[in-house]
Homo-oligomer: A and B are copies of this chain.
Amino acid sequence: MEYREAAELLLRQNDILILTHKRPDGDTIGCAVGLCLALRAQGRTAWLLPNEDATRLFTPYLEGCLAPEDFRPAFVVSVDIAGKGLFTPAGEQWLQKGIDLAIDHHPSQEYFAKETCLDAGRAACGELVYDIVRQWGPVSREVALPLYVAVSTDTGCFQYSNTSPDTHRVAAALMETGIDAQWVNKRHFRTKSLKRLKLEALIVDTMDLHDDGAIAIAAVSLDDMARLEADEADAEDIAAFVGQLEGVRTSVTIRELEGGSCKLSVRTDETLSATGVCALLGGGGHAAAAGCTITGSVEDAKAAILSAIRQVQGHA
């Protein structure tokens, strides 16, 4: 279904419930809030299903949008949810009853809904939701702000390779409404917790470099996390931190897990297949980013991944 059709379909409904994905990011939250406020501006009753995983980073956007317990929806929409496995526990009951419309931008979309509005060419689902809501008239500042959060966070503030000319055009249109984009940028891209900075400092001080710095292997132990009193939010996307080191072509981030195992995240450039390396250790992923889990200590994991890298390099 094309975005104009999705806009028409939505406008024929009332009592609309909007679902976000598990471990929600800025795109799913921003899309949901933007769509919710735009539907309300059209006189519709619309709410978001509360998402138990939403972190404090996104709490401010959700204010006034979370469905009360007694809300009985007549139409259920999912935003930025690619597959059945990505519904929250609360969302799964709605998946059972049936999702009326899925709005998404993932090529891996599983077509679980009665109708699907998919545009896999969009960097962020927020671009697609913008196309939908602007069919109903000028987009207000209140609707534009969460959509800017969606578009900017899903593209690393226009830095990732998914960023397209359209992404910039949507950002221009959203900024034109008068939103405080600077506040969003500062909040999401230029703010780090002290614990996060201490975690980064620890990684810099302890990471191993091989092959004249082309390979970086960083590890964060349970003990490190406990000592810094850091939580998962502080460690989020820590693999990207190691990957920014100048000269690094392969970066590995090892997280020690409870119970004697380690989770590894591998990022490579075009000279090495990350998924090839991780496959040797029972994992998988994409050519440039893959992962695996290894039973053993951090030291065991370091030795195993370096050996796997050497093996793939030997075959190359």
Contact = CB atoms under 8 A, between A and B. Distances in A.
A284 B190 CA distance: 25
Nearest to A163: B181
Nearest to A161: B182
A158 B171 contact: yes
Interface residues of A, number: 42
A115 interface: no
Interface string A172-214: 1101100001100110011111100110111011000100010
Contact of A204 (B167, B197, B213): B197
Given A172-B168, A197-B204, A204-B198, A158 B158 contact: yes
A43 interface: no
A175 B179 CA distance: 24
Contacts of A161: 182
A193 B164 CA distance: 28
A244 B186 CA distance: 8
Interface in A201-234: 201-202, 204-205, 209, 213
Contacts of A213: 194
A157 B173 CA distance: 18
A169 interface: yes
A246 interface: yes
A175 B168 contact: yes
Contacts of A198: 204-205
Nearest to A177: B165
A164 B175 contact: yes
Nearest to A181: B163
B166 A172 contact: yes
A150 to B, nearest CB: 15
B173 A159 contact: no
A81 B147 CA distance: 37
Given A163-B182, A169-B172, A197-B245, 16 more contacts: A157-B159, A159-B186, A161-B182, A163-B175, A163-B185, A165-B172, A165-B175, A165-B176, A167-B172, A168-B172, A169-B169, A192-B244, A194-B204, A197-B204, A198-B205, A201-B201
7 contacts: A157-B159, A163-B182, A168-B168, A172-B172, A190-B243, A194-B247, A201-B201
